[in-house]
Structure 1
Amino acid sequence: MLTPCDNRVSIWSAGDLGNAGLNGEYHGEPHLLCDIQHNGDVMDMQFLDQERLVVASSTGTVTIFRHHQNNQTLSANHRWEKAHYHVDQDTSCGGAACTGVVCNNPEIVTVGEDGRINLFRADQRDAVRTIDNADSSTLHAVTFLRTTEILTVNSIGQLKIWDLRQQRNEPSQIFSLAGDRVPLHCVDRHPNQQHIVATGGQDGMLSIWDIRQGTMPVSLLNAHEAEMWEVHFHPSDPDHLFTCSEDGSLWHWDTSTNVSEKPSFLHQGGRSTAYLSHSTINQSVVSAWLSNDPTKDRMEITNLIPNQTLSVNSLDVLGPCLVYGTDAEAIYVNRQLFA
């Protein structure tokens, strides 16, 4: 008989900058501040504010945990049971995984494998709004486009915009990959140019979209050799973008580097470093991301962990610090991204 996994949500202290090695990797022992049991697999999580953390579960439940910094404990502050669920033929409800969560305090948006979108507020017991049949396929990820609009990606290669001000339960725009409908697993938008959106999918390709025009991506870039699990623009320096994959790689895409005197060649997926050249020396970040021919862009791509073999499942970046987690049941911290 199989026993359920003892899943936990943990808060860690990773030490200070003085403990970083010469290559930026943190070699000191992280310190566990506190943890709490979690029912089901943790599918996604995001801080709502400095004290509260929203966690999505494979059971379909969404929980707000509060971090009590005075005595270093975690407690369940609020829980929406079966925010995502499947309805069986006998009308009984079984939990469906909540696959993605995004926060804009006090609002919380969740998506799931049931194709449902929920809008919650941290101070309200019931959902503010639910779109039951938002999608006929699994919604894998969600992010805010603007305060009142969200972006979702699904398992048939579609990127959709939802205007939460509208009462109709249909997206305001639908974008789609051409040809085979490759599942999209992750999405992020440019922090300054909100019409620029990046997605990654099952084929490991990085797709860049301009949501002002057209219904297909403006560029497709060869990247990983397996599923891409996360894509993130740097929040304050968006000429840098980061992606990670099932193939054990974590890529840093840099459109700011002057490569005019470096060798140029067409990037092929799997290289540790590649340079894409353009004849214009001062190519802007925005036009670099939006070029419909990425082989003409000046772009440096570096695999930050070339010797990694296990899947890199998640990443986040802030300032010079990159954090990522792998199937090795380990969390890694790189504190000198731009050294």
Structure 2
Amino acid sequence: MTATLGDSPVSRKETTNGPKPILDGKRGPGVQFAVYFGVLAPLVALIAAVPFAWGWGLSWVDVALFVFFYAFSGLGITVAFHRHFTHGSFKAKPWLRVVMAIAGSMAVQGPVITWVADHRRHHAFSDREGDPHSPWLFGTSPLAIAKGFWHAHMGWLFDRDKSNAQRFAPDLLKDKAIVKVDQLFWLWTLLTLVLPGIIGGLVTWSWWGAVTAFFWAGLVRVCVLHHVTWSVNSICHMIGERPFAARDRSANFWPMAVLSFGESWHNLHHADPTSARHGVKRGQIDISARVIWLFEKLGWAYNVRWPTPKRLDKLSVTA
């Protein structure tokens, strides 16, 4: 029996010949090289960050650019790739869809259609065989848990399996504008790394300002955002509170709430995947939900699926 994804296209329609396969072959060598480079290059930059800052300093220009590009690309993942494109938590005007797809692409976590296919597959088989990044696929012994953490956090990225986009993202494959953004992923990756350096160089009017901005707001920023996102896959399926009934081990991990823009309120998300707000209890900061609220007020977003008290009561483990 195939698991469903709420109101996503996956659950509404399958072919008359039965469900499409989970995987769509293997990644090509070029794509696999890009994965290795995209993951390891920022990681090397982060490792070098401490001695770099200690020896040459860190300017306020670098900090400001880091914060701006972190927010722009990070919200591109949480608001756009995740809540809008994957789960349909809200509808958006066509121009906003394109801008959001570009913003998410600038997080360098893969093209939009690939990202969405992987994440819908994750929900369809959450913490079971078929889930691309569950930490619970190897057992519960200490060694198995360590192996599972590595796999869920970033090890799964080095596997060559490719989620079947025809099965998990057929709606996006039919959207010409989004397909174009997907095809230009190389351009968004180049811009997200080069633009901070260009801006830093112009603001400081120095080559050194360009170099430090490229390093901090480009490479290091991408690496930090990578690990925050991956921590939702790993930590938020291992430890934390579970106030809502979900069919998997998703949990809320409050220390990551701000850095993840509200994504670490992961238990409610898996209990109610299409909800536009994940942090629903008092004091649970959800920046992504606030951004969606702002889009709605401006008339750019509509049909927003806000949680209701009745719905939350039904999902509560104490209900």
TM-score, normalised to structure 2, is: 0.22
The structure carrying a bigger strand percent of its residues is 1
TM-score, normalising length: structure 1: 0.21
Greater per-residue helix proportion: 2
